[in-house]
Chains A and B, each alone.
Chain A
């Protein structure tokens, strides 16, 4: 009874595929950029949607293709593994500025050969003024563009520079009807068009572009069929030869025609997954409920005896490896916000169907097994949890969690279904939701969710309250008044809300300008034809063809703002231990602390330049002096520093969000609502509404770097709290207390998703009974209406780092001897013991 289900042996092929994938540095390749430029030059004057399908066809007919050694599932967007093509139609100027640094920058490095640079330099001039990014910039009010580009309050950079993605398409349609079926659907829709209607032409153009795109994909698959046949002809190993012949047969058949078996379904799935990411650079192309739409053919093969569990597992593992073959190059700033090469291809298992019946099946378990086998970042594996989720599935999920890969992410049906119904989904559609990208729920294959529409830094409006609307010497916010003259906390809080709303409105406009630019310059016929109701309506996704349309910008910093606003309320207004003038000065002086080294280096360069401009000689000694001054805040007197330390101690002693304190958590809910509620009033150009999320991806670090000190004691330019969790190290009552606090937020209103990360040591999940306890813990959190949770089960490296920087790891739970404890509360000698034990794996 008490065991982990579906433990299946890993085929030796899988590790070899992985090794091959990771043998070389990812590169940037120029083929797509050249081909799309050639095509665009030939189609000047045609309707944009026709130009898009013509370009897609031209790319798929000519882009180099490759079958990697031992692959069973084929199709790669790049010749070198884990490499990428570029998409100059969205933006390209940032890349030109990074040719020399992209191989050495902080996040997501890519090698770019001199030859590739030359090829790109030849085609880029064509795109000047023609990109989505250019049109978005032109469409935005100038002051909004300035705030977006220069003030770090919000960023819409993701879709400003790239495709949108963030979609789940109708994989089932391709698997069970084939693209020929989709073409037929488009023809029928065309047959129904009435020449007397005003939209006759636009619909006809769109449907023709759909047909051309599907034909291009079929052609591309047949190129693979031919390549496989050719390689089979040269292959001397009879086993591999047979595999190649089977690949040839499969790629000839799918995705054109319906898949006849599980293997063909896997290959059909993959072509769709891969080529959507060739049509556009949008990421978070999410396979969604893979265990559901793949199941019928899996079951048929299994019942027929034409497949074994081991064979099916190997196909799954192959797909899992392929999902890591795709990457995307982003500008340096965005790369920090989405660090880790990942494309956020979210694949979810378990949950209920449209009728409210749990539909967990064998594949649900085997998908988790695949993640255990490949141990790679993609796919972003998720699991839907509800009251009727089988206990065994959760035990399996706990066992995967224990592997320390940070997956699966757990989602609570009981919160998400009502949350998205409140946004207009039917009960049936809501029950069938999947997750896109990081944490964003949508009904798959019917939604253009525009999730991840922007990041909003909730800390910055507070800075604007202190500066009365000024930033970098410019008036960009509202003039909410002299903060020192405010007499009540309510007045102060209202000023915060007013500044926040002011910038939220700007962000909505910025998003809508970007949205408009995509509809004009980059409609995507292939992606559109696999999302309902585009064919029926004869309208692309980008122009509003989906059944459901949303825009989801996410806020972060809820924990810092809760603690900061409470510090102002308590210390300034209630207890009057600190004057507002003092607080303002303390923030400006970063509480008397020096700048973090990265910032100090940057500022040193700036100061040195200014001095040089004034004619002062700059040498190493001067530079050193400037730098040390910044690191040590030497311009601030010792008296002042002592007072600031006192203020910091007072702040530290205040109750903090994340410790299961009802009043504090209730205030956090209110702070969260200041961000989430206003969106209920905004609409997007595709006929949909806005909905807020509360999560930062990894933008809390780079955007924190643009944020000064905050009244919660957070120092300037340090990271902002991640997701809806407490500020780093401030929750000291253990994981249940933290979970209880987080569950008290209004997750339902943040229907674009909330994100809660927790850290555990593997030892807390080491035995069967601890897996049971983990599942109980998860259920307890979800019973209280938590929406999402994900666990970092930490490694030896982390423990060593925790030892060096204990303030960052105050809530790390470790198994000690006969009990569990918070790692940082243990003595140095015991920490050493635990670290050494971990190395032996003998906990």
Chain B
């Protein structure tokens, strides 16, 4: 990592201000580019590759990805500091996978803490333990996905097994300030009561974890795949109905002893 954290560089593809649902308060989300997983339903396919690429959107070609310093990112993040102060908000790193750029992610989180902002990351935690350890002291809120308890099925839909993820979940639960488990509910993948209940049992077993969010699959990414010249593998899959989500919510509640389960983040 650069000696001065503000000079550390990394690759992002978007910064979104006034985010209300990714951690407490009013937040700015920085989307880091590159991910180890290739989830079939991913709604940000432009986030997956580390390399800078072109995406066609609304007839216009846009460049996805740019290399920036922490100082440049913070200049944008600081513009809403008054709102963080009023609401207890701050910086959220999303992606892509921020743990895939560990030095950049750590520098960003440390910079945010230096300004007194709350920090959060949205992560799959598919990373070496050392990377998790390096970020831990600088993250106030972990928003971590558990997608499936069956490793083979996990691999089929995300290209990776879940062993390291589950191990890291335990480690983060034991050591982090605050951890929320999030479950993308994806038809054909994990939308049966048994599958959701299994995840809930696991989340329930994690020390200090009291919240689980069920996030219904949506089709945000669909048009982006075409814009990137890729095929959308979930074509024809409809988002889960409200009644189905409510049924899964009950299944998750039934499987846990201490979790507050909700639909949506």
Residue positions of A touching B, CB distance < 8 A? 660, 733-737, 740, 764, 770, 772-773, 776-777, 779-780, 783-784, 813, 815-821, 826-830, 833, 840, 842
Contacts and interface: CB of A to CB of B under 8 A. Distances in A.
Nearest to B83: A780
B265 A784 contact: no
A820 B182 contact: no
Contacts of A736: 17-18, 26, 79-80, 83
A773 B87 contact: yes
A773 B25 contact: yes
A465 to B, nearest CB: 34
Contact of A819 (B19, B80, B222, B224): B19
Given A740-B79, A777-B26, A777-B87, A819 B17 contact: no
B3 interface: no
Interface string B222-254: 111000000000000001001000000000000
B83 A777 contact: yes
Contacts of A770: 20
Given A773-B26, A777-B26, A780-B82, A830 B220 contact: yes
Interface of chain A: mostly helix, strand, loop or mixed: helix
A147 B21 CA distance: 53
Contacts of A828: 223
A819 B213 CA distance: 12
A776 B213 contact: no
A829 B238 CA distance: 11
Contacts, number: 97
A776 to B, nearest CB: 3
A110 B240 CA distance: 49
Given A773-B87, A820-B19, A840-B242, A833 B218 contact: yes
Pick the most buried of A734, A777, A826: most chain B CB atoms within 10 A of its CB: A777
B222 A829 contact: yes
B21 A819 contact: yes
Interface pairs A-B: 9 shortest CB-CB? A776-B87, A818-B265, A776-B86, A827-B223, A780-B83, A734-B18, A780-B82, A734-B17, A829-B219
A818 B25 contact: no
Contacts of B87: 772-773, 776-777, 780
Contacts of A660: 79
A813 B21 CA distance: 13
B16 interface: yes
Nearest to A819: B21
Nearest to B226: A827
Contacts of A780: 26, 80, 82-83, 85-87
Main secondary structure of the interface of B (DSSP, over half): mixed
A817 B215 contact: yes
A736 B85 CA distance: 13
Given A773-B26, A818-B264, A827 B222 contact: yes
B97 interface: no
B216 interface: yes
28 contacts: A734-B16, A734-B17, A736-B17, A736-B79, A737-B18, A740-B79, A770-B20, A773-B20, A776-B83, A776-B87, A777-B18, A777-B26, A777-B83, A780-B80, A780-B83, A780-B86, A780-B87, A783-B82, A783-B86, A784-B82, A817-B215, A817-B220, A817-B264, A818-B21, A818-B22, A820-B19, A829-B223, A840-B242
B82 A813 contact: no
A826 B57 CA distance: 10
B224 A817 contact: no
Contacts of A777: 18, 26, 83, 86-87
A820 B220 contact: no
Q: Name which of B17, B18, B25 has the most chain A CB atoms within 10 A of its CB.
A: B18
Contacts of B82: 780, 783-784
Given A660-B79, A740-B79, A820 B21 contact: yes
Contacts of A772: 87
Contact of A737 (B21, B79, B219): B79
A557 B87 CA distance: 33
Given A815-B20, A817-B265, 17 more contacts: A660-B79, A735-B18, A736-B79, A737-B79, A773-B25, A776-B89, A777-B18, A777-B87, A780-B80, A817-B216, A818-B21, A818-B265, A819-B22, A819-B265, A827-B220, A833-B218, A842-B242
Nearest to A661: B79
A252 B83 CA distance: 55
Interface of B: 16-22, 25-26, 29, 79-80, 82-83, 85-89, 182, 213, 215-216, 218-224, 239, 242, 264-265
A833 B219 contact: yes
B83 A813 contact: no
A176 B103 CA distance: 71
B220 A764 contact: no
A782 to B, nearest CB: 10
Contacts of A821: 16
A827 B79 contact: no
A815 B83 contact: no
Nearest to B217: A817
Contacts of A783: 82, 86
B234 to A, nearest CB: 11
Given A816-B220, A818-B215, A764 B20 contact: yes
Contacts of A784: 82
A780 B86 CA distance: 7
A818 B29 CA distance: 13
Contacts of B89: 773, 776
Contacts of B221: 827
B222 to A, nearest CB: 5
A830 B218 contact: yes
B86 A830 contact: no
Nearest to B221: A827
A392 B19 CA distance: 23
Most-contacted residue by chain B among A737, A770, A827, A830 (CB, 10 A): A827
A735 B21 CA distance: 15
Contacts of B265: 817-819
A370 B16 CA distance: 37
Contacts of B19: 819-820
Nearest to A832: B219
Nearest to A828: B223
A827 B216 contact: no
B248 to A, nearest CB: 15
Given A780-B86, A827-B224, A830-B220, A815 B79 contact: no
A737 B220 contact: no
Contacts of B21: 815, 818-820
B228 to A, nearest CB: 13
Given A734-B16, A840-B242, A817 B86 contact: no
B61 to A, nearest CB: 14
Nearest to B79: A660
A776 B22 contact: no
A776 B26 contact: yes
A784 B86 CA distance: 12
A255 to B, nearest CB: 45
Contacts of A779: 86
Contacts of A817: 215-216, 218, 220, 264-265
Contacts of A740: 79-80
Contact of B17 (A737, A826, A842): A737
A819 B18 CA distance: 10
A362 B221 CA distance: 49
Nearest to A818: B265
A777 B88 CA distance: 11
A829 B235 CA distance: 12
A227 B264 CA distance: 58
A161 B83 CA distance: 46
Given A737-B17, A770-B20, A816 B79 contact: no
